[in-house]
Chains A and B, each alone.
Chain A
């Protein structure tokens, strides 16, 4: 019976919105989700939130234990001094990429299909970056001194060391986080106004009123709004490229075989977008189902995103290829050994093999339109890619460190329970925020959907 509804609601791959929508219906459909009485919230949401909340508590326990004992509770050793923490950091940051890309770049490229997904992919970005942001602090030996990475006047007359990529990280990530937030919030303002006006309870009106910052959707407002929004888009477009390039510098600036590579920036950015879209799909597909939004997040969206995944996936594949080629072409014994160790001889060779499957082989299925048209298939592939991209970071961080230059100092890395708990914990944090968002705020941009309606079927846009 669910299937039917999909069939009936979904307008198919050439439409970004289902038939028969006018301004009113769009507003009601999206706003309705927020004003839906608590009890009528879809069951899946409650279950999902419960699971996520348990993970959040696991996270709190793990972090408490970490702060009490020290980073020794993790599996890191000398030589593998970076482990899960950094892997997760890079993974989350990567996921955080889709949002800005969709909102900013696709906006500038006038891709109308972005409209119904940009809102919550931006939200996803924020939450992902929040999760990412925690790790660099957690992984410090003395986290309570994390503020020393900020340039502030102090009685030691010391500044951070500007040649260190970690310092570049601090700025790159914080900039990205704040701009993404502005972008997201600005986008929400007109909708907050709508919510304010359609809210029944006075407290709701007050809250939305404050958030709407006195929006009256006067022509003047709209004119300025459009300008501001475009400016922000222009501002954040370079960030999409810069953030993950800078993150990749953490590795490429060092001398370690497997890290010290010039291809890292582009290949990291592509990878980031890859995983970002995978995550958007992973979230969009269930939400669209639970809230019956198939007529707003249509097959068109899913197919477009699948295509983007396919494209970026190929760039990533090229990256892997180049790594292998350069290892051989460089003629450098350490580079060659690194690759052999990573893909064949090392302890964690299987992670590399798995990674090739997840990131390169399996997604090739997306060439086929039938696969792209099948929601479950796309969903499955998206999940696989998420895993694959995590593995990629694991392979880069761990296998390179395990065996570098001096065989006498080679080591081995075993993640501990606390490594895993911390990772799972942040997933919990991420999902919790996501669930709260889709329940408490318009997950799809109402005013932009109205524009879409206006373009798609001007005839009965205003209802007749």
Chain B
């Protein structure tokens, strides 16, 4: 009776064993990568905005402090987004008829708010408080990156839980002196760990990893 299979099928069979293993682990790896990738997290993706607002221009060129617009960052969970009024306090004087700024003027005329697209968007079951982080010496740039160098704003961190927890477990790696919090250009010193540990004790920073710290 003729052979049913060609003799090559022997080796094929052997290969298929390894192939299955590799294939499966490959799938897991792919899933992990996609989940961490820009498609899901929007990291490094400049979001479409009604007005192409440039932090680079306003912070680096004009030297405006973060708190000029994000007024409640030191006192409230929410950093605060400037009301149209704030924009107009300058733009009623300069660039008064730049087409780019029409939405702002329109908003001021009509009383209709500008609808910005969220760049840093935590899930609704995560409760983040800006004020406590700022007060404990976590710099803006630590989470938001060099916003002062972004023509259009984008996120530099995934804001995934592992990213938060990494700092909550080892604050000393990231904490900086309070007076440096709003300094975008701040460079961590060589002895960051040492200084970090000092600041952690000085600012009574607890590494809070209870679930209810963020979830309730």
Contact = CB atoms under 8 A, between A and B. Distances in A.
A152 B25 CA distance: 12
A196 B5 CA distance: 12
A156 B13 CA distance: 39
B162 A209 contact: no
B13 A209 contact: no
A210 B5 CA distance: 9
B28 A155 contact: no
Given A155-B35, A155-B36, A209 B161 contact: no
A213 B13 contact: yes
A197 B161 CA distance: 58
B203 interface: no
Contacts of A393: none
A162 interface: no
B82 to A, nearest CB: 32
A156 B5 contact: no
Interface string B6-46: 00011001000000000000001000100110000000000
Interface string B50-78: 00000000000000000000000000000
A157 interface: yes
Given A155-B35, A155-B158, 17 more contacts: A152-B28, A153-B32, A154-B162, A155-B36, A155-B161, A156-B160, A156-B161, A157-B162, A157-B165, A157-B166, A196-B4, A202-B4, A209-B5, A213-B13, A214-B5, A214-B9, A214-B10
B162 A155 contact: yes
A213 B9 CA distance: 10
Contacts of B160: 155-156
Interface in A210-235: 213-214
A214 B10 CA distance: 8
* Tier of interface size on chain A: 10 to 19
Interface in A317-366: none
A405 B187 CA distance: 60
Nearest to A202: B4
B164 to A, nearest CB: 9
Interface of A: 152-158, 196-197, 202, 205-206, 209, 213-214
Nearest to B10: A214
| A-B pairs with lowest CB-CB distance, top 6 | A155-B160, A157-B162, A156-B161, A209-B4, A155-B162, A205-B4
Interface in B141-169: 158, 160-162, 165-166
A155 B162 CA distance: 5
Interface of B: 1, 4-5, 9-10, 13, 28, 32, 35-36, 158, 160-162, 165-166
Contacts of A213: 13
26 contacts: A152-B28, A153-B32, A154-B162, A155-B35, A155-B158, A155-B160, A155-B161, A155-B162, A156-B160, A156-B161, A156-B162, A157-B161, A157-B162, A157-B165, A157-B166, A158-B161, A196-B4, A202-B4, A205-B4, A206-B4, A209-B4, A209-B5, A213-B13, A214-B9, A214-B10, A214-B13
Contacts of B9: 214
B14 to A, nearest CB: 10
Which one of A155, A156, A197, A206 has the greatest number of beta carbons of chain B within 10 Å?
A: A155
Contacts of A155: 35-36, 158, 160-162
Nearest to B3: A209
Contacts of A156: 160-162
A213 B166 CA distance: 49
Nearest to A155: B160
Contacts of B162: 154-157
A349 to B, nearest CB: 42
A209 B165 CA distance: 54
Nearest to A209: B4
Nearest to B35: A155
A214 B35 CA distance: 42
Contacts of B36: 155
Nearest to B158: A155
B21 to A, nearest CB: 14
Contacts of A152: 28
Contacts of A157: 161-162, 165-166
A158 to B, nearest CB: 8
Contacts of A209: 4-5
Contacts of A206: 4
Which one of B1, B4, B161, B165 has the highest number of Cβ atoms from chain A below 10 Å of its Cβ? B4
Contacts of B13: 213-214
A338 to B, nearest CB: 34
A197 B3 CA distance: 11
B158 to A, nearest CB: 7
A111 B199 CA distance: 74
